[in-house]
Amino acid sequence: MIVAKFGGSSLADYSCFMRVVDIVKSNEIPVVIVSAPGGKNKITDLLIAAYERWVECGNVECYEFALAQERIVELARCVGLNVDAHISSIKAAINGGAGFDYAVSRGEFLCAKILAYALGYSFVDAIDCVKLTMDGEIDLKSTLAHSAAIKLPCVIPGFYGKLPSGQIKLLPRGGSDLSGAAIAAALGSEYQKWTDVDGIFNGHGEVISNLSYDEAERLCYFGASVMHYKSMALLKSRGVRLAVKNTFSNSVGTEIWTRRCEGYALSRKEMFLYKSCRAERLNAIRQQGLKIAFQARLMGNEMALIDDCGFSPLALSRILSYDGIERVTVTATVGSTPPFAIQGDFLFRDEIGAICISKQ
């Protein structure tokens, strides 16, 4: 069985919606997870701003909410659905103190309602199947138990789930990936992530056809925005294969499973590169008009930071410890803070630990 997740850019407007309907129908996809509509004026951002207005003045009626409402109502109208009653009860609930997580999750909620209607699928609320631990992490065991009762075919909103206390709770930004991975892991299915890029790219701008879970996890942890990095552990734990696909093209995409792929990779949006990166490659990257934001080199069992990497000490220590470095000597300042030392028992394996590059 296929579980497919469509990101906000794949659901930005009516023509995107129709593409998604086409993909779901032609591939007979029985379980669909959605983000809130993205593009210009992301619905999630508007809802966050609207909630802040409610905090300030006790009324969610504001410019941002009106903009979000307009987009949602228009999408619904195009597929022949009236969501006025939903919008009224959402407004009343927010004004009545339903809270931040409830308010911000309504983008995914309404998007799932509209897509379910357009597909003729049932709507399954995430609070009925995506179960969280007390600290807001995915509780795979409980999600597994509750997913058995999902009525297929269905559309499920991403980005939130239910705490053991019964309260609704948001996942981190970009967390619909996690919702999709949790449902796919629970159902033991193939997981398709549909987005607006052809997959994960290598340093030559080619799509990498295969990556292992560990490689993909590392890339996403370091900033490749194509997936939420925590999705990988969920999928790996159940051996669920992940396919990254482009909603807007027929490219083969990237498959993530158990196979190892040596070398380095870039996602097109926030490019990231790691492992064995030699000077020629760095020059080639610079020639592509990319900026090297952070570079670190192994010297014996020490790591020297070469450039002003712009990461906060906390972020940097997390990155370095994740990469398993034995000792770190910092030779450059980090942002405006003075040089600092990181201590710890780390083991370093690669010639060059981590290089994060971004568009200039």
Residues that bind ligand ASP (CB under 6 A): 7-8, 35-36, 42, 44, 107, 158-159, 173-176
The C-alpha atoms of residue 5 and residue 134 are separated, in whole angstroms, by 25
Instruction: Give the count of beta carbons closer than 10 Å to the beta carbon of residue 359.
Output: 11
Residue closer to ligand ASP by CB (options 161, 174) is: 174
Minimum CB–partner distance for residue 106 and ligand ASP (Å):
11
> Which residues on neighbouring strands pair with residue 355, listed in sequence order?
273, 295
- 48 or 233: whose CB is closer to ligand ASP? 48
To ligand ASP, the closest distance from the beta carbon of 156 in angstroms equals 13
Q: How far is the CB of 173 from ligand ASP (least distance, A)?
A: 4
Smallest distance, ligand ASP to C-beta of residue 271, A: 20
In sequence order, what are the beta bridge partners of 202?
Answer: none
Q: For residue 124, how far is the Cα from the chain centroid?
A: 21
CB closer to ligand ASP, 173 vs 359: 173
Tokens of 119: 């597909």
Nearer to ligand ASP, 178 or 305 (CB): 178
What is the DSSP secondary-structure string of 49-102?
HHHHHHHHHS---SHHHHHHHHHHHHHHHHHT---HHHHHHHHHHHHTT--HHH
Q: Beta strand pairing status for 290-299 and 302-305?
A: antiparallel
Considering the complex, state which of residue 44 and residue 295 has its C-beta at the smaller distance from ligand ASP: 44
Contact between residue 272 and residue 219 where contact means Cβ atoms under 8 Å apart:
yes
Minimum CB separation of residue 286 from ligand ASP in Å reads 32
